[in-house]
Amino acid sequence: MTKSSSFSPRQRFQTFEDPSHRKGPERIEALRAALRETGLDGFVVPRGDEHQSEYVPADAERLAWLTGFTGSAGTTVILMESAALVVDGRYTLQALEQVDTGLVTVVVMPLAETTAEGWIGANLKRDQVLGYDPWLHTPDGLARLERAVTKAGGTVQAVPNLVDAVWAGQPKPTAGPVVVHPDALAGETVVEKLARMRAALAEGGCDALVISDPHNLAWAFNLRGSDVEHTPLALGYAILPREGRARLFLVSPNVDPTLRAALAPIAGILPRSDLDDGLASLAGVRVRLDAATGAVALKEKIEAAGGTADVGKDPITAMKAVKNAAEVAGARAAHIRDGASVVRFLAWLDGAAASGGVTEIAAVEALEDFRAAGGDLRDVSFPTISGSGPNGAIVHYRVTRASNRTVRPGELFLIDSGAQYPDGTTDITRTVAVGEPTAEMRDRFTRVLKGHIAIARAVFPTGTTGAQIDAFARAPLWQAGLDFDHGTGHGVGAFLSVHEGPQRIAKTGTVPLEPGMILSNEPGYYASGAYGIRIENLVLAECRTMSGGERPMLGFETLTLAPYDRRLIEPALLDPGERAWIDAYHARVRETLAPGLDAEAHAWLERATPPLLD
């Protein structure tokens, strides 16, 4: 079958060009020339944008432009005689491959402290001045930077971004449409949301909120944009006073009149360039500024206006994490739509891979096409990770035309993908055997699946954090002396980011899980150079009542609907409860998806999901 090619050519959401380059020397030299002109001794270039975001618009890809490194986290420090790229362990190999290491030293730091302070402390000389862009650092981040620089005997100095000054051809900020996210999908009107936010401000003793996280902006004002790939954000800020109209300051001028009209009674939409005026009006006002995403530039402008910046938590973050009934209904609907597309893809893959003709890129394109055909697809929720054989063991693998390989018999194929629908964001990973898997592959897959089932079936008291249950997903691997080096699950938004906090199933997941939170459940196992296994469903935290129970308990409803590859399951490693759970899940997948499947995919699904207990 060559179903993917039967679609009419459409602009796909994912491309496969290698975004790295070998222009590091001249670009870094240009930056050094700018340093000389300004009298600075160095400049810090973090990966994030003005919102300290993981997903940044093209014009904020300064780190990639400068060094060639395209990972999602890292910081470069350029001094006159030396330069470093500081990354966490996930990106060691990628950084070494993409960066000119004769020019830039790659420094690997533990995940929790991906900061350049250590390197700066050791390399900056006494009396040197390190420049930074105050829009790209939080007050806390700047304080850490300043401590390191001061310890080295230097000073820091805020300057307009020097990369922007030397980046010829820097993309223009996007001007994508900013539209209404309908109340029917949002489940709560902007008026209702603003009332809750104002109550939280009152409780925190603040008079106003500066919203610096575009995810929170989108949630608060029931709007969606298109300034960033794969996440429907409208970049910008908002000022929400305890009383009176809110003001939004948006980068894109392309605001749908319907949105403007809908918000008119409660909020005005202004251009991003009016933000300074907005902040200047905050004299005498106690302003909550989000510690995680609010730039130090915001703090300084608030204070310059005579306001007080109360750096803490944007209350929206916690509200957004708990999905209401409409968002939950949307998520369920999106997952049924997505599941049918994934099943059609898996059915196609099963035939096509066996005949030896499927490449990683072909799989990505086919899956995107099946999703597009399923309807309502707005975007993929992130670039699909499509890894065959050894590429599957690279946790953040992104296939390019250069790395693309054909899935061969005897290999595992790992595909981690997701979609943006108006009613929900999906994220699913399946690992599929092509040809005959080895006994070790089956053992490892089954252990990963046992951990995945342990999370799916977990029951825990209210107040329990993700950190407390993370080990449930690891115990079957631990018993064999194995583990995986990423968290078990991240939060997921409602037609928003596929990585949303603060909820998380990981050692770092320190907030209590609450009914309505959506998280991924994705343990894995990676045999470096050989194969990778990951099994991922999204789950919804919900209340549980048990007969004879004494405590308010929570559990998970699994939202994702797609079969596990039975050829990789070793039933002898499963206990009766685990086998029954798989059978019940597969039955639910069949029953729920059947109405949306063509006869061929339906027949494949029936063949793929007979009970293990038979």
Binding residues (CB under 8 A) for a second copy: these are: 458-461, 464-465, 467-472, 474-475, 478-483, 507, 544-546, 548-551, 553, 575
Strands 42-46 and 75-79: antiparallel
Q: How far is the CB of 454 from a second copy (least distance, A)?
A: 9
Name the DSSP letter for residue 516: T
With vertex at residue 331, the alpha carbon angle to CA 538 and CA 543, rounded to the nearest 5 degrees, is 70
Chain-centroid distance of CA 471 in Å reads 22
Q: What residues contact 398, with CB distance under 8 A and at least 6 apart?
A: 383, 385
Least separation, in Å, of the C-beta of 142 and a second copy? 25
> Which lies closer to a second copy via its Cβ, residue 276 or residue 483?
483
Q: How far is the CB of 484 from a second copy (least distance, A)?
A: 10
Specify the amino acid at residue 280: A
Residue among 278 and 524 whose Cβ is closer to a second copy: 524
Written as six digits, the tokens of 595 are 């109405």
Task: Report the residue number, 382 or 460, with the smaller CB distance to a second copy.
Answer: 460
Cβ nearer to a second copy, comparing 55 with 472: 472
Distance CA 32, CA 34 (A): 5
* Contact criterion met (CB below 8 Å) for 534 and 431: yes
Q: How far is the CB of 463 from a second copy (least distance, A)?
A: 9
Cβ proximity to a second copy: between 335 and 447 the closer is 447
CB of 572 to a second copy, least distance (A): 13
Radius of gyration of the chain measured on its C-alpha atoms: 25
Instruction: Please say which residue, 218 or 519, places its beta carbon nearer to a second copy.
Output: 519
Residue closest to 606 by CA, chosen among 584, 453, 589: 589
Q: Are strands 500-505 and 428-434 parallel, antiparallel or unpaired?
A: unpaired
Phi-psi group of 413: left, alpha or beta (phi > 0 → left; psi -120 to 50 → alpha; rest → beta): beta
Residue environment code for 241-251, b if the CB has 16+ CB neighbours within 10 A, otherwise e: beeeebbbbbb
User: Nearest approach, Cβ of 612 to a second copy (angstroms)?
Assistant: 18
Rounded least distance, CB 574 to a second copy, Å: 12
Question: Residue 176 or 523: which CB sits closer to a second copy?
Answer: 523
Least separation, in Å, of the C-beta of 433 and a second copy? 20
Nearer to a second copy, 356 or 577 (CB): 577
Task: Determine contact, residues 535/430, Cβ cutoff 8 Å.
Answer: yes
Q: Select from 348, 370, 369, 368 the least CA-distant residue to 358.
A: 348
